[in-house]
Amino acid sequence: MVVDERSRHELYRRLEEVLGPEVATTLIEHLPPVGWADVATKHDLAGLEHWIDERFSRVDERFTRVDESIKAATADLRATFEHELRTAEQGLRTQTTTFEQGLRTQTITMMFALVSVVLTMSALAFSLARFTS
């Protein structure tokens, strides 16, 4: 027999006749709203709990793998970045050293040129002073 709203109502009216309206209402409210096949048992709940635990374990395993993968990728990126940074630093040091050497050479050349010009001008000034006196 399928329990539907019509059959529940008929049962309620019969219980009301026999037991009274308050007891009939209390009894009907304690019955499941649909058939007993739709009511979960403790065994059903235990199975569901086991299924949920397994599911969360698999999710935890996936998160652990993703976390390890991210850590490995981060370590690789860090190593690559540090290597490139050291290479760039060495290149910058080399360029700085080359620039300093070029600047030093240029400064020495300029100093000799200035000294030569000053000496030449001084010699010309003494020669000019000697010829005019």
Q: Evaluate whether 115 touches 123 at the Cβ level (below 8 Å).
A: no
Q: Evaluate whether 24 touches 9 at the Cβ level (below 8 Å).
A: no
Domain of 12 in residue numbering reads as 1-39
Claim to verify: residue 66 and residue 3 sit in the same structural domain: no
Claim to verify: residue 91 and residue 31 sit in the same structural domain: no
Claim to verify: residue 56 and residue 117 sit in the same structural domain: yes
pLDDT in tens, 27-69: 888 877 666 666 778 998 999 999 999 999 999 999 999 999 9
Residue 3 CB partners (closer than 8 Å, separation 6+): 34, 35
Claim to verify: residue 91 and residue 112 sit in the same structural domain: yes
> How many domains is the chain partitioned into structurally?
2
pLDDT in tens, 69-121: 999 999 999 999 999 999 999 999 999 999 999 999 999 999 999 999 999 99
Claim to verify: residue 50 and residue 3 sit in the same structural domain: no
Claim to verify: residue 106 and residue 95 sit in the same structural domain: yes
Claim to verify: residue 12 and residue 49 sit in the same structural domain: no
